[in-house]
Amino acid sequence: MRIQILDIKNFRGIASGHVVFRKHSLLVGGNNIGKSTVCEALELVLGPERIYHRPIIDEHDFYCGSYQRDDGYSLEIVIRVVLTDLNHKQQLRFCQHLRRWDKGQLKFVDEEADGISHADGPNVDWALPVVFIGRYDPEEDDFIGDTFFDHPMDDPDSLSDEEKASLGQGRSIFTRAHKRDCGFIYLRALRTGSRALSLQRGSLLDTILRLGEQGSANMWPAALRSLKELDPAIGEKSQLGLIRAQLQERLGRFINLASEGDQTSFYASDLTRDNLREVVKLFVATWPSNYPVPFSRQGTGSVNLLVFALLTMIADLKEENSAIFVMEEPEIALPPHIQRRVVKYVLQEMGQSIVTSHSPYIIEQYEAENVVVLGRDDKSCFGGKPIDRSLIKQKNYRAQRRQFAEAILSRAVFVVEGATEVVAINAASTALERFHTGYSHIDLSGVSLFDAGGDQEVPKYGPIFKALGKPVFGMRDKPNQTDQRGQDNIDAYDEFWESPELGVERILVDEVPESVLHGFLKEVKLRPDYPANCEYDASMVGEKLKTLAQKVLKARKGDSHGHGYAAILIEQCQSENELPRFIREALLYIDKFLTISTQNSPVPSEDETRPPSETASDG
């Protein structure tokens, strides 16, 4: 069984939303876009224990906090899930609630025109629709919610008054036992393990005891007897014994105590199973101390891995590859090699995984078609769908997984042709942040620099990143040869800059003052990697100076290791107008574009991005 479709209405920050999942899905999007809301919505529908939290929902779970209209009508949270790929046992269990599902159209056959004619087609299978409904109950002054089997509703007029008023309006309840058959497991972010590693009802340890049929029902009475019959009893300690005797004597003046045995006692707990569930803790001894301490005293990374280990145990106790595993930000407090190991385990062992992450080490473990990009359209409708595999060639994606991972996480993408451009643009952005009031560094703006690896390669990435719903910008040198085939791809860019020069090095030396070139050469000539055949003379001026600087830059072309030569040149600039104009204007345009797009205003013209003091002869 796996989740195919999620529809959300009026939940948290989502007024209306629709998300499509793969067998394994990586959810990506900006901060506060709705990744956690998607996970919480799935838990409300499928989490076996979530329905027993009190309250199940509250005021802040409703979109904009609005749960009741002025006329007193209670608004509803509605979360629908379509479950597909049911095994034979699940089909038998839920047979009366199943509907035929078209995997190609992602629709129920009975919703399609003439759908019944291909109900037994090769791309049609059984699916189970379920729905969570929650609302405010004014009579009880409380919030209520439950999950139901979903199906096309009968004519509302045919429902009884009691059915109309009920939460499910005549639908059958999707019970806790039904949810357990789905194998839903949810690992939250920002976790401390305080509940997961306890023995509270519904905790991970409690779930393992139940699934493993370890006789947990008999465990509690035995543990309570052991506590009561401790030898010596806690109350026999000399200090406590003296207090007991004094207390018995004093109580006897006011209360009729028992006539036999000890009238007062001290025990380790309330001697109820619920009390034990609250106080029993897992202790863990780790290297180098080897001294067992409560799990909560372990480091954040260790606690996260303990929780993850318990979840894998639960998955193993279910039928092979039958767990639906939802995990938020597994990278928290984990080094890269452990992040990769955790995700590889999930992809191999879970029937379905839905993961959110901001880590490129995790994202690069997924094929492009398994990445689900979350976002909102112009009407603020929330949605998410997998990347169209036809947009990205597998060989390109696999060769540049890390760059794609960072681009997928970004707010916008700036595609350039090589490593020198990446270094120069980063340095220029850092300088602009210092010189230009109100300018935001590309890192702060969420812009990812993508090295295309050549001027002929830059155009093809425009449609790819545009299809991901991101603003995309491009820059390259004048191509060595004209390629008209790439013009359509260039048109996909929100803005594209093409240099009049054949190399970025010429742009750099032509568009900075000679004082900057002298400062650059004086600094780099002292480096051990300075080119041996590039002798510098402080008296150089004009073309001779530019030629030497260009020769030095070309000798270290693409050097992004450590502190690249292009960055050193730009760091010599002492004002905004000394920065290379070609790069400066592009960065200012992008900054204005993103600022204005946030305000949903028209994009500025290039003239509007220039400082008022700039003239055509600057630089």
Percent of the chain with pLDDT over 70: 90
Cis previous bond, 386, omega within 30? no
Stretch among 139-153, 209-223, 384-398 having the lowest mean pLDDT: 209-223
User: Over 50: is that where the pLDDT of 562 sits?
Assistant: no
Is the distance from CB of 409 to CB of 468 less than 8 angstroms? no
Helix, strand, or coil (residue 429): helix
pLDDT tens track for 514-523: 999 999 999 9
Q: In what order do the strands lie in the sheet with 447-451?
A: 447-451, 412-416, 472-476, 495-498
User: Over 50: is that where the pLDDT of 366 sits?
Assistant: yes
pLDDT band at 590 (very low <50, low <70, confident <90, very high): very high
pLDDT tens track for 467-498: 887 899 999 988 766 655 567 789 999 999 99
Stretch among 139-153, 254-268, 598-612 having the lowest mean pLDDT: 598-612
Residue that wins the pLDDT comparison between 324 and 267: 324
Is the distance from CB of 128 to CB of 83 less than 8 angstroms? yes
Is the distance from CB of 504 to CB of 421 less than 8 angstroms? yes
User: Over 50: is that where the pLDDT of 603 sits?
Assistant: no
Stretch among 77-81, 154-158, 286-290, 361-365 having the lowest mean pLDDT: 154-158
In angstroms, rounded to a whole number, what is the distance separating the alpha carbons of residues 595 and 609? Answer: 12
Helix, strand, or coil (residue 84): strand
Average pLDDT, integer, range 238-252: 83
Check residue 214 and give its pLDDT: 58
User: Over 90: is that where the pLDDT of 116 sits?
Assistant: no
Mean residue pLDDT across the chain: 85
User: Over 90: is that where the pLDDT of 235 sits?
Assistant: no
Single-letter code of the amino acid located at 527: R
Check residue 72 and give its pLDDT: 86
Longest alpha-carbon distance in the chain? 112
User: Over 90: is that where the pLDDT of 3 sits?
Assistant: yes
Strands 371-376 and 352-356: unpaired
Chain length of the chain? 619
Check residue 432 and give its pLDDT: 96
Highest mean pLDDT among 142-151, 227-236, 278-287, 455-464: 142-151
Stretch among 223-227, 393-397, 453-457 having the lowest mean pLDDT: 393-397
Direct distance between the N- and C-terminal alpha carbons of the chain, in angstroms, rounded to an integer = 64
Residue that wins the pLDDT comparison between 192 and 618: 192
Average pLDDT, integer, range 204-232: 78
Residue that wins the pLDDT comparison between 155 and 218: 218
User: Over 80: is that where the pLDDT of 28 sits?
Assistant: yes
Is the distance from CB of 187 to CB of 307 less than 8 angstroms? yes
Neighbours of 7 (CB within 10 A): 16
Stretch among 40-44, 247-251, 257-261 having the lowest mean pLDDT: 257-261
pLDDT band at 154 (very low <50, low <70, confident <90, very high): low
Check residue 402 and give its pLDDT: 85
pLDDT tens track for 130-145: 999 999 999 889 999 9
Check residue 342 and give its pLDDT: 86
Neighbours of 391 (CB within 10 A): 15
Check residue 187 and give its pLDDT: 80
DSSP state of 368: G
Residue that wins the pLDDT comparison between 37 and 334: 37
Percent of the chain with pLDDT over 90: 39
pLDDT tens track for 100-111: 999 988 999 988
pLDDT tens track for 297-350: 787 777 777 877 877 787 777 766 678 989 888 888 788 888 888 888 888 888
Neighbours of 53 (CB within 10 A): 13
Average pLDDT, integer, range 271-294: 84
Distance of CA 268 to the CA centre of its chain: 43
User: Over 80: is that where the pLDDT of 579 sits?
Assistant: yes
Average pLDDT, integer, range 256-285: 82
pLDDT band at 61 (very low <50, low <70, confident <90, very high): very high
Residue that wins the pLDDT comparison between 427 and 529: 427
In angstroms, rounded to a whole number, what is the distance separating the alpha carbons of residues 44 and 411? Answer: 30
Is the distance from CB of 127 to CB of 31 less than 8 angstroms? no
Single-letter code of the amino acid located at 327: M
Check residue 275 and give its pLDDT: 87
Q: Which two tokens stand for residue 247?
A: 């207390």
DSSP one-letter string for 186-216:
EE-SS---TTTTS-STTSHHHHHHHHTT--H
User: Over 90: is that where the pLDDT of 296 sits?
Assistant: no
Single-letter code of the amino acid located at 372: V
Is the distance from CB of 35 to CB of 385 less than 8 angstroms? no
